[in-house]
Structure formats: C-alpha cells, structure tokens
C-alpha cells in the first residue's frame, strides 16, 4: 500500500466535522504517540527485538498513521510531501526536539484563530515527515501497519462502530 492509497482510504473513515478535525486529530496524534512510547518502554517483546506483525504495536502505529494522514489531508499535503520537507530541512538545524506538538496546537488555536499557516504549518509538516521517515519505522513495517489499520477501520465503518473508544470494538 502506498502512502497516497493509505491517505485516501483513511479519509473515508474520518467522520468528524471539518471545523474540529485539526484540533481533534492533533491531540489524537499526541495521545497515540504517548501510547506507542508506553509500549516501547514496558513491553518485553519490544525490548527483546521480537517481531510485532500481529501484536499491539502494529495497531498503535496504524492509529498514529491514521491521525497523520488526516492532518495531512486537512493541510492539503501528501504524506510523501511531509517526508520531503523533513529530508530537505533536517540538515539545516531544525530539530524535532525543538517542538512540542501540544504547544503548537495550543498556539494555533489561541494566537492564530485555528489557522495552520506559516511557521506553525511548517513545524507540523516537518514533525510528521520525521514520524513517517524515522520514528515509526523503528517499531515495525509502517506499510503493514497502514494496511491492517485500514482493514480494521473499514470493518468498524461497515459495522457502524466507527465512533466510540477502545481498540476492539
């Protein structure tokens, strides 16, 4: 599955009203990244370097990818473009460690009327490129996670369970 295919299929399951998509998906991404870090920190399988093709980490990476795809769609960019931005600018001294995504989203809504323009948009695109290029690949094959994520979401949509919470609905 290509990034473009994934992004299109992911949007078929994003049912939030347009006016709240960015804020919901921004904080959703932050939450999923926290869950992924917890798995990395505490899961003995991960610490031992064992495969995750059928485990929770694939689900979490897929969830992170869904939020990324939704944010990119709202910014009118592709996932591949985010990677390009990261690769072109990483060597210029702009670092992911300089960013706090929650702070960026807060500032956009507090200071910029919810508009992701200029530096705010650039930082988010750079960060997403980093996640896609380096971070997520350390956990598993990102394309497998995307494929399983779409399968899960299409099943939920078909069963009318797209709303709600919990992994196994």
CB atoms within 10 A of CB 26: 23
Give the chain's length: 169
> What does the chain look like in DSSP terms, one character per residue?
--HHHHHHHHHTT--S-HHHHHHHHHHHHHHHHHHHHHHHHH-HHHHTT---TTSHHHHHHHHHHHHHHHHHHHTT--HHHHHHHHHHHGGGT--GGG--HHHHHHHHHHHSTT---HHHHHHHHHHHHHIIIIIGGGTS-HHHHHHHHHHHHHHHHHHT-SSS--S--
Q: Residue 79 and residue 30: Cα distance in Å, rounded?
A: 18
Integer angstrom CA distances of residue 18 from 60, 71, 116, 125: 24, 11, 14, 19
* pLDDT, mean of residues 120-126: 90
Average pLDDT estimate for 34-45: 72
The predicted pLDDT at position 100 comes to 80
pLDDT-derived band of residue 92, with 50, 70 and 90 as boundaries? confident
Question: What's the pLDDT at 141?
Answer: 86
Query: Which is more confident, 105 or 47?
Result: 105
Residue 165 has pLDDT above 50, yes or no: yes
């Amino acid at each position: 599955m290509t990034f473009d295919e994934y992004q299109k299929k992911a949007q078929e399951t994003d049912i939030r009203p347009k006016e709240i998509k960015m804020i919901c998906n921004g904080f959703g991404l932050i939450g999923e990244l926290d869950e992924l870090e917890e798995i990395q920190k505490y899961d003995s399988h991960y610490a031992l370097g064992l495969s995750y093709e059928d485990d929770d980490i694939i689900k979490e990476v897929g969830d992170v990818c869904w939020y990324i795809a939704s944010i990119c769609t709202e910014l009118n960019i592709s996932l591949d473009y985010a990677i390009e931005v990261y690769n072109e600018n990483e060597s210029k001294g702009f670092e992911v460690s300089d960013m706090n995504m929650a702070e960026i989203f807060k500032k956009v809504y507090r200071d910029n009327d919810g508009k992701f323009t200029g530096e705010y948009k650039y930082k988010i695109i750079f960060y997403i490129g980093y996640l896609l290029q380096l971070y997520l690949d350390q956990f598993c094959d990102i394309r497998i996670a995307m494929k399983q994520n779409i399968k899960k979401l299409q099943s939920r949509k078909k069963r009318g369970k797209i709303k709600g919470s919990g992994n196994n609905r």
